[in-house]
Amino acid sequence: GRARDGIRMVQSRGARGFQFSGSPQLFSFPASQLFINCNFFPAEFSIVVTLKIPQMAPEKSEYIFTLLEGDSDEPLLGLRLSQNNPPCGHSEEGHLWFNTLKRGLFLCDGIVWLTMLQVKEKLDYVEDHQDLFTNSETFDIEVFHIPSVGLFMATANRDSNLGSGIYKWTDGRFERYQNISTYDAQAWQYFTVGKKKFLVVANCRSKDAGNQEQSVIYKWSSRKLKFIHYQTLITHSARDWEAFSIQDETFLAVANHRQGGRNHNIDSVIYKWNPVAQFFEVNQTIPTTGAYDWEFFTIGPYYFLAVANTFNGRSTVIDSTIYIWLGGMFQPYQSITTFGAIDWEMFQIENRVFLAVANSQMLTEEGKILYSINSTIYELSMTSQTFIKFQEIETNSALDWEYFTVGDDKFLVVANSYDGNSYSLNSVIYRWQGYEGFIPVHRLSTNGCRDWEYFNTTDGSYLIYSSARAALSKVLKLRTI
């Protein structure tokens, strides 16, 4: 047809197309102008679109290419450009959508958008996002989501007079939401039983001097929109709670650290939810040695529970034990020598299963103390059916491991807390490198780092760490490319 301003036909190696210059224009043409050697529109064809847009309004949603049949206005095929989800129904079936925000191409199947092609995010750098001033030093952070309500975080704070805080993610920041009376709180655990939502705290001290320590389960009230007292359980210098389900039954395991001032060789307890009484009842006791952490995980049809044993009253060089669920109870599966173990972190990379232990200190019976020691990553050997040493990483009184992914990359971040001289240390993010294991890629300045948590919002991905030395936790944003 006649020439149009700002449009010219180009041809290269048998491919023919149109090149536009200046402002976008509405332009239509018969397919025969492209398929010059074919009287019929082919059943299979390729169209390459190269588009350069300096900036696009978030609410913008428009077609950059459509295929129409004859004189009809209904598109047979369309490529839509938008940051937000355009409609996907039967009338849009077969349509394509290029998401400028996620840099991905999606196809509507008549119900949902299916991913055709998407650029994977890669971690570029970590930046400060929020200084969160807490009631007092924070030993643990629990991030959780309540459907239709929002994203929350609970901090386990040391000061018994000030209690612990619950924060809600509001406008890209955590804002104080509720305060709960706690007594040298060590950890929080959020869990659900059916539609019920619970939050349990591990209290290390008693409310009044000389009395028995008690940990408390709180239940979310959808009417009051806050957590209210639900059940009290007797614990012994509790350090951690782990909630898990086995065959539709809900369990709670508490890590009892010490009874009285010196007795670290005591039982930790596993409770089971009684659906009739609507309370947790003792289901099993397990002998532990200065227990600090429980980690529940599954491998195929098998259920496991690993305890981090820290101290036996004389030494931190002791065994931590992995238990397996057999015959309605947990039984010893494997013991691993650890050095003041504070945390276990289980993760899977493809079909490989790993367990990372955070070793805090090596205290021998001779009284020698080392803080700069190795923490170890173990891998499950399918041949021996046991966890074997995979990689040792030098850490400084490590107190926590956190595993997370960004795009196709896998990461571990460690909480380094003390090297024998200073609490102001770098905590380190390690990236999975396959055969090389985990290698350090980011060093983050921390002060008495106690816990790391990874979480996602609609704004992106974040890490938060707590300090056992100051009433300040920090939220860090993961910047990606």
At 429, list the tokens. Answer: 């993010």
Strands 96-99 and 75-82: parallel
Q: What is the pLDDT of residues 110-122, one digit of tens each?
A: 888 888 887 778 9
Q: How far is Cα 91 from Cα 76, in angstroms, rounded to an integer?
A: 9
Same domain, 437 and 303: yes
Whether 97 contacts 108, CB under 8 Å: yes
Q: What percent of the chain has pLDDT over 90?
A: 72
How much is the mean pLDDT over the chain?
Answer: 90
274-297: average pLDDT: 98
Range of the domain at 88: 7-118
Distance from the first to the final alpha carbon of the chain:
44
At 203, list the tokens. Answer: 């209290």
What torsion do the CA atoms of 24, 26, 27, 28 make, to the nearest 10 degrees?
A: 140
At 68 the pLDDT is 80
Q: How far is Cα 173 from Cα 167, in angstroms, rounded to an integer?
A: 9
Same domain, 313 and 455: yes
Q: Which of 118, 135, 161 is the last residue of a domain?
A: 118
**Residue 284, exposed/middle/buried by CB under 10 A (0-12, 13-18, 19+)?**
middle
Same domain, 135 and 111: no
At 464, list the tokens. Answer: 């938060």
Q: What percent of the chain has pLDDT over 70?
A: 89
Q: What is the pLDDT of residues 413-460, one digit of tens each?
A: 999 999 999 999 999 999 999 999 999 999 999 999 999 999 999 899
Asked if the structure places residue 295 within a domain, the reply is yes
Same domain, 287 and 302: yes
At 316, list the tokens. Answer: 């931190």
- Integer-rounded Cα Rg, in Å, for the chain is 28
| Dihedral sign for Cα atoms in the order 198, 217, 297, 466 | positive
Question: Is the confidence at residue 58, as pLDDT, over 60?
Answer: no
Question: Is the confidence at residue 1, as pLDDT, over 60?
Answer: no
Asked if the structure places residue 194 within a domain, the reply is no
At 40 the pLDDT is 63
Asked if the structure places residue 212 within a domain, the reply is no
More confident residue, 80 or 153: 153
Same domain, 156 and 53: no
Q: What is the CATH number of the domain that holds 410?
A: 2.130.10.10
Q: How far is Cα 193 from Cα 310, in angstroms, rounded to an integer?
A: 31
Same domain, 29 and 96: yes
100-127: average pLDDT: 83
Strands 226-234 and 173-180: unpaired
Q: Which of 118, 148, 164 is the last residue of a domain?
A: 118
At 378 the pLDDT is 98
Q: How far is Cα 394 from Cα 374, in angstroms, rounded to an integer?
A: 4
36: pLDDT confidence band, cut at 50, 70 and 90?
low
At 109 the pLDDT is 85
Same domain, 142 and 78: no
Asked if the structure places residue 210 within a domain, the reply is no
Asked if the structure places residue 271 within a domain, the reply is yes
Chain-centre distance for alpha carbon 411? 11
- The pTM for the full model equals 0.79
Question: Is the confidence at residue 314, as pLDDT, over 80?
Answer: yes
**Residue 164, exposed/middle/buried by CB under 10 A (0-12, 13-18, 19+)?**
buried
Q: Which of 97, 118, 139 is the last residue of a domain?
A: 118
Q: How far is CA 362 from CA 221, 289, 378, in A?
A: 45, 15, 19
Question: Is the confidence at residue 188, as pLDDT, over 80?
Answer: yes
Q: How far is Cα 404 from Cα 121, in angstroms, rounded to an integer?
A: 13
Whether 134 contacts 472, CB under 8 Å: yes
At 440 the pLDDT is 97
More confident residue, 300 or 29: 300
379: pLDDT confidence band, cut at 50, 70 and 90?
very high
Whether 16 contacts 31, CB under 8 Å: no
Q: What is the pLDDT of residues 211-254, one digit of tens each?
A: 899 999 999 999 999 999 999 999 999 999 999 999 999 999 99
Asked if the structure places residue 330 within a domain, the reply is yes
At 111 the pLDDT is 84
Asked if the structure places residue 225 within a domain, the reply is no
Burial 433-464 (b: 16+ CB within 10 A, else e): eeeebbeeebebebbbbbbbbbbeeeeebbbb
At 181 the pLDDT is 98
Q: How many residues does the chain have?
A: 481
What's the one-letter identity of residue 130?
Answer: Q
Own/partner long-range contacts of 309-314 (Cβ < 8 Å, ≥24 apart): 309/338, 309/341, 310/257, 310/264, 310/340, 310/341, 310/342, 310/360, 311/264, 311/340, 311/363, 312/264, 312/265, 313/262, 313/263, 313/264, 313/265, 314/365
**For the chain, how many structural domains are there in total?**
2
Question: Is the confidence at residue 41, as pLDDT, over 70?
Answer: no
How many Cβ atoms from other residues are within 10 Å of residue 61's Cβ? 16
Q: How far is Cα 272 from Cα 283, in angstroms, rounded to an integer?
A: 6
More confident residue, 69 or 281: 281
Asked if the structure places residue 203 within a domain, the reply is no
91-113: average pLDDT: 79
Same domain, 290 and 318: yes
For residue 89, the 8-state DSSP code is S
Same domain, 16 and 156: no
Same domain, 146 and 44: no
Same domain, 456 and 349: yes
Same domain, 450 and 312: yes
Q: How far is Cα 390 from Cα 395, in angstroms, rounded to an integer?
A: 16
Q: How far is Cα 175 from Cα 166, in angstroms, rounded to an integer?
A: 9
Tokens 């409609």 found at:
87
At 90 the pLDDT is 76
At 120 the pLDDT is 79
More confident residue, 121 or 22: 121
Q: How far is Cα 18 from Cα 22, in angstroms, rounded to an integer?
A: 13
